[in-house]
Every structure is written in structure tokens, then in C-alpha cells.
Amino acid sequence: MPNGVSSQGSRGRVRALPLAAASLLVVGSVVAGVRAVMAATGGHFIYALDDAYIHMAMAANLADFGVWGCMPDRFASASSSPLWTALLGTSYVVTGVHEWTPLVLNLAAALGALWVVDLWLQRLRAGVWTRLAALCGLALVVPLPSMVLFGMEHVLHLLLTLLLAWQAMTVLTQSGPPASRDTGRLAVLAALLAASRYEGLFLVLLVCVAAAAHGQWRRAFVVGLASLAPLAALGAASVASGSLVLPNSLMLKAGGEAASALSVLLKPIAPDLEVLRASRPFVVLVAGGLVFAAAGATGARSAWTPRALGPALVAGMVLLHVHYALSSTFWVYRYDAYLVGAGLVVAAVALTGAATDALTGAIVAALAVTMGADVRANVYPTQEIASAVLTYREHYRAAQFVREAFPGETVLANDMGAMAFFAHTRVLDIFGLCDIEPVRLRREGRYGPADVESWTLPYAPTVAIVQMSWGWVSQHIPEDWEKVADIELLPEHRQLAVFAPTPAVHPAASIKPAVEAFYRPLEADGYRLHVY
């Protein structure tokens, strides 16, 4: 009896090893990243991306004022992840507004994704080596620690993508009539996935097409309708508030300066080939997905097997993402991380049982490396730590300056995250993520310096703080704005500029003392200030 108990305990520990190892890897890397950021920012924890603070500002306004917007006094369709914003807002209602909340939620989503993959593979009777390679590969290929430090919705999007893919691969390949319970589960996951990021609609569309091709028309209709319901509700509220059906971020980042839904839907296909040629992970995912799907269908003499359907879904997601979601202007790897993660997991699922556990694990590990897993860089997220420190120096400091020098006054900015969350004053977004006027002007075929001035002038802004490192900014500065100061961040050579946008009311001379008082002492920390 004791030997039997000991043997069972040993097997249990071995079974738990892959999940424990991958979880420890993620948690340890995140803790190391947080400590490094705080050591470089005087004890402040800052996210690697300024965009994270847009969601946080919207969530805080939702919790405190019931307003869906970057500012507490006006609606703004600024979030392409309504589920993440609502989840943050709900957390803020329960616990109060805390800067750590996105980190905690992201870490929970990352560990949840690892648990889901481990459970999925265990249900398929995958061995320890396969699970270890898949879980650690997922942590390093995405990479999960870096995505957690972004403070945005991408880890939640990955988790929901994996859940819907798992359910679709299971439910759509079952024999017998469709069960209502399975359809309901797919519908709920589809709604959550689409609300986590609009790119979730790519997988939902493919699932619906697969269901219809399998003769399950009712299931396809229910799942598709469920996925559109939350987005349609938000779109209706947005239109009723004077904005557009789609969020400003989608209109600007996918549609460009035209800010047109038509330009998004009718994008030419030719650039897709260039993107695929330049992206090794995308080529691996599309080619591997098609090969795996063909092999799975041939081996089972049916396309309706998990080994055939899963890889086909991944290849389809990549092609739809490349065509509709990818923008070379705004590309950052976080946008396609869900594809890389889902592709690796589906490959592990498709390979399970096809060879020995050790060989399968080796193949999965090789796929992870092929798709670009830089083990050293992804275990210790140096790039994201540096980005967080730059966000602190460029964005947090600027918001702190506004909060101290211009409380209650109107400020203009082109990068709204930290400014909206920390400044605690009225901020207008001249780029257009948090204000609809720039988007409308673009849709009319115009948005130049004169339009910036005519829109903002009635608000009598006191000061404008803009990131001149954006190529877009210099072309949109009105001639009547009076420059107050240039601020250069060394060694990155990032450029900030301070303007007096209404010099007749708030002349540059009235702003210069505040700039001097705040930024001059920071020259010892790598700032270079030039006051005009």
C-alpha cells in the first residue's frame, strides 16, 4: 500500500511538471521584469505601452462616472477591446482604481492559457515531453511574459482564441446531430472572443463556415449572431453618441488617413504577399497549417477530424489577419502573437499520438524555434523593460507635468494613454483615438493644420504637448501655435515639443516658467531642454 501510494504520488508530480514549469517560467519572468522597471523609474510600475493607459482611463471613467470614454465628460469609442475595458472597469468598481490591475488580470489570463492547453493535451493523452514543449513553447513564442507587461488585452484574446479553437475542433468533428449545449458553448465563446478583440471575428467566421459546410446551418447562424451581438450593441451606442460604428482605433490603424470602413473591407490583396514573404512565422503557420490539414484529412479519409480542422483554422486565421488586420504603419508583434501561440498549440494537438512522446516533444520544440522563439530574450523581457522605462520618461513625466502645472485646464496631445489616466485634466486628442472630430475630418478627405486649429480653438487650450518623433505630427502643427520648448530624451533621442496653441490668451511667456521648473531639473536624468 505505501509503495502504491508513493508510486501514484510520483506519477502525479510528473504529470504536473509541465504546467508547473511553464507557470514558474512566466511568473518568474514577469516578476523580474516588474522589479527591473521599478528599479529604473524610482519605484513606479509602468507598462511597456502607453496604449495600456487608454483602456485604464476608459475603465476608470466607466467605474467612477458611468462614461465610456477617455475623459469623464464625453463618450469615446477608443477601445478595440470592449471586453478588456469592461473587465477592467468591473475590477475598478470592486477594488478601486489601481495601476496594478491590468498586470494581475494579464498574469491570470496567461496562467489560464497554460492551464487550458495542458488540460486539452491531457484529454488527448499527450505525454509529459509533448506537454512540456507545448507549454514552455507557448510561453516563449507568444511570448507571455512580455505580453503581460504590455498591460493590454492580448493575453485574454489568446486565451479565448485557444478555448474557441478547442471547442470548435471537438464539437464540429463529432458524429451525430448537433447538441444545443455545444452550440451554446460555442456561441458564448464566440461572443467573448469577438469582444476581446475585433480580430476574433476571423476565427468565428471560419468556425461558422466550417459548421455550414458540415451542414450545421443553424449552429453557424447562432454562433455568428452571438459574436456580432456585443459589437453591434457597442456600435449602436457609439452612433447614438455621435461616433462611428467601429472604434476610432480600427478606423485609423486599419483604414489609415482615409478612416473609412470601405477602405478596410476593400483592401487590395497584393500587399498580403509581401507581408507573407517578410514574415517567417506567418509562412510557417500558413504552409504548416495546410500541410497538417491535408495530412490529417488523408490519414483519416475525412476532413472532419481535429487533426485536419485545427490546422486549417490556423491557416485561415493568418490569411484573414494579414489581409484585414495587419498595418505596416502600426505593426507591433503583439498584434499577431495570438496566431503564433494558437498555431503552436494546434500543431502540438495534431501531432499528439502520431509518434513517441519524446519525438513529438522535440518536433513541437523545433516548431517553436522556427517561429522565432528567442529563449534568452523572452525569458528576460529586456525590450519591454526598456519600453516601460521610456514610457515613464516620455509619457508619464509629461502627464505629471500637466497635472502639476495646468490642473483643470484644457491640454492638447497626440498620444493619449498616460495623459488621459494620470493628468486629471481635460485633454483633447489631436490624433483621434479619443476624439471623433479628427476621424470625421479625415473621412471628409481633409485634416491638416488649419483643421486642427479650427477644431481645438473653441476649447481655448492652454498648452499642447506633442511627440515630435511621430512623423505624422509635424505636418499637423498649426502655424499660429507658438513654440515654447523642445525636450529631447537621451539616449533614445525621442522628441517632445511644448506649444502655446492660443498665444493671444495663453502666451508662451506664461507657460515657460512651468516648463523650466519641471523639466530643467530632469536634465541630470538624460533630458535636454531648449526653451524659446
C-alpha cell at 526: 538624460
Contact 421, 56 (CB under 8 A): yes
Contact 476, 484 (CB under 8 A): no
User: How far apart are alpha carbons 130 and 115 in whole angstroms?
Assistant: 14
What is the per-residue pLDDT for 331? 47
C-alpha cell at 380: 528576460
Buried b (16+ CB within 10 A) or exposed e, 86-110: bbbbebbeeeebebebbbebbbebb
Beta strands at 410-413 and 463-467: parallel, antiparallel or unpaired: parallel
C-alpha cell at 291: 500541410
User: How far apart are alpha carbons 338 and 399 in whole angstroms?
Assistant: 32
CA neighbor of 401 nearest in space, from 509, 498, 494: 498
Q: What is the pLDDT of residues 13-35, one digit of tens each?
A: 778 999 999 999 999 999 999 99
What is the per-residue pLDDT for 178? 83
Mean pLDDT of 139-161: 96
C-alpha cell at 133: 514543449
Asked whether residue 330 carries a pLDDT value surpassing 50, the answer given is no
**Per-residue DSSP letters for 451-507?**
HHHHHHGGG--SEEEEETTSTTTGGG--TTPEEEEEEEETTTTEEEEEEESSTTTS-
Q: What is the pLDDT of residues 356-370, one digit of tens each?
A: 999 999 999 999 988
What is the per-residue pLDDT for 258? 54
The CA–CA distances, whole Å, from 468 to 202, 272, 330, 377, 411 equal: 35, 31, 17, 30, 16
Q: What is the 3-state secondary structure (H, E, C) of 121-149?
A: HHHCCCCHHHHHHHHHHHHHHCCHHHHHH
User: How far apart are alpha carbons 34 and 204 in whole angstroms?
Assistant: 35
Confidence grade of residue 443 (pLDDT, cut at 50, 70, 90):
confident
What is the per-residue pLDDT for 502? 96
Confidence grade of residue 276 (pLDDT, cut at 50, 70, 90):
confident
Domain-by-domain residue ranges, the chain?
2-380, 383-531
Contact 286, 315 (CB under 8 A): yes
Mean pLDDT of 495-512: 96
> Is the Cα torsion angle 398, 399, 401, 402 positive or negative in sign?
positive
Confidence grade of residue 523 (pLDDT, cut at 50, 70, 90):
very high
Asked whether residue 176 carries a pLDDT value surpassing 50, the answer given is yes
Contact 50, 399 (CB under 8 A): no
C-alpha distance across the termini of the chain, in Å: 85
E strand or H helix at 426, and its extent?
Answer: strand 426-429
Contact 314, 339 (CB under 8 A): yes
Quote the percentage of the chain above a pLDDT of 90.
79
What is the per-residue pLDDT for 192? 98
Mean pLDDT of 84-101: 97
What is the pLDDT of the chain when averaged over all its residues?
92
The CA–CA distances, whole Å, from 233 to 77, 195, 226, 264 equal: 12, 11, 11, 21
Mean pLDDT of 452-462: 96
Contact 465, 487 (CB under 8 A): no
User: How far apart are alpha carbons 245 and 443 in whole angstroms?
Assistant: 14
Helices (H) and strands (E) in the chain, counts: 24, 6
> What does pTM read for this prediction?
0.93
Query: For residues 350 and 9, which has the higher predicted lDDT (pLDDT)?
Result: 350
Asked whether residue 352 carries a pLDDT value surpassing 90, the answer given is yes
Asked whether residue 407 carries a pLDDT value surpassing 50, the answer given is yes
Residues 6+ apart with CB under 8 A from 240: none
Q: What is the pLDDT of residues 178-220, one digit of tens each?
A: 889 999 999 999 999 999 999 999 999 999 999 999 999 999 9
User: How far apart are alpha carbons 281 and 370 in whole angstroms?
Assistant: 7
What is the per-residue pLDDT for 336? 87
User: How far apart are alpha carbons 435 and 75 in whole angstroms?
Assistant: 9
Q: Which residue has the cell 492660443?
A: 502
What is the per-residue pLDDT for 280? 81
Asked whether residue 476 carries a pLDDT value surpassing 70, the answer given is yes
Cis peptide bond upstream of 177, omega within 30: no
Contact 251, 439 (CB under 8 A): yes
Dihedral of CA atoms 454, 455, 456, 459 in degrees, nearest 10, equals 100
Cis peptide bond upstream of 491, omega within 30: yes
User: How far apart are alpha carbons 282 and 499 in whole angstroms?
Assistant: 43
What is the per-residue pLDDT for 328? 47
DSSP state of 179: P
Asked whether residue 249 carries a pLDDT value surpassing 90, the answer given is no
Q: What is the pLDDT of residues 484-494, one digit of tens each?
A: 999 999 999 99
The CA–CA distances, whole Å, from 476 to 441, 457, 472 equal: 13, 14, 7
Contact 164, 118 (CB under 8 A): no
